[in-house]
Amino acid sequence: MRVKANIKDLLILFWTFFKIGLFTFGGGYAMIPLIERDIVEKKGWLDQSVASDMVAIAEATPGPIAVNMATFVGCQRCGVLGAFFATLGLVLPSFCIIIVISLCLAVVQDNVWVESAFKGIRVGVVVLILNAGIKMTKKMPKLLVTIVMCVVAFGLAVFTKIDVVFIILGGGIVGIVYQTIVANKQLKNKEGKS
């Protein structure tokens, strides 16, 4: 599918993701609710089911989740140029902030005000990540298999040293096997009715 990109659309993509990158602390997971709010609710670029699938795919692919999401949305909207502009918009604020912080770190490293600010920011980041998890859970299909998978994945992530990548891959495999079994049952039911 070839997507036509014009400069206005590219600049809108850049600005949308620039604002998200500028005002979000805590990395990719903290950005998920903001990205979803902007691309689904405000702009209507994707519907909620596609956005949820995008989160799952972005998590399962190499690289930071927010960058993968920005690249996906940009590509959907304006092709390769859109992917470039959306990704650039998302990472540019962090890049500039890191440069400034690295230049000033020696001066503010032991400042009690800076330490207090970062403690407060950490609390906000935890809330944003928790909010994203709750929203995704509400939108998840309420099937016994998905509930069991959530409980097992949570238990493995919290109480074992298994790398989260393997938990995600395992969830993907279980999902494929489950869907294959359901599809086969539906096919047999149709054949039985014929």
Q: What are phi and psi of 48, to 5 degrees?
A: -60, -40
The residue whose two tokens read 């909620």 is: 48
Please write the tens of the pLDDT for every residue from 10-56.
Answer: 999 999 999 888 877 666 677 777 888 888 888 888 887 787 778 77
pTM: 0.60
Helices (H), the chain: 7-23, 28-36, 48-60, 65-108, 112-139, 144-159, 164-193
User: Is the per-residue pLDDT at 2 higher than 70?
Assistant: no
d(CA 23, CA 34): 10
The residue whose two tokens read 């980041």 is: 125
Q: Provide the Cα torsion 94, 99, 105, 106; round to 10°.
A: 170
Please write the tens of the pLDDT for every residue from 88-145.
Answer: 999 998 888 888 877 877 777 777 887 788 788 788 878 877 877 777 777 777 788 8
| Predicted local confidence at residue 1, as pLDDT | 47
| Predicted local confidence at residue 160, as pLDDT | 92
Q: Is 16 exposed, middle or buried (0-12, 13-18, 19+ CB in 10 A)?
A: buried
C-alpha distance from residue 57 to each of 1, 100, 108, 159, 178 (Å): 20, 33, 39, 25, 18
